[in-house]
Amino acid sequence: MAKKVKVKTHSGAKKRFKLTASGKLKYQHTNKRHRLTQKDTKRKRIARNAGVADVSNAPTLKKLVPYL
């Protein structure tokens, strides 16, 4: 009988990605933490919304966070 192997979750990935109800991986854009006065308003507005991982990267990311 084959043993079931546990897979370790990637510490960095689990802090950065969440799984949506449809199974996609969402993340928060960068550049919203500090020195905001010199950043363009458009850049800050785009970064406000959550991003969704591209379908080409999704399988790799799901391997990093198998138990989400």
* pLDDT tens-place string over residues 3-50: 999 999 999 999 999 999 999 999 999 999 999 999 999 999 999 999
Within-domain flag for 19: yes
Within-domain flag for 27: yes
Tokens read off for 51: 């991003």
pLDDT of residue 8: 95
Within-domain flag for 6: no
Domain of residue 21, residue span: 11-31+38-64
Q: How many domains does the chain have?
A: 1
Within-domain flag for 1: no
pTM of the model: 0.83
Candidates 60, 6, 34, 8; CA nearest to 17 is 60
Contact 11, 19 (CB under 8 A): no
pLDDT of residue 2: 86
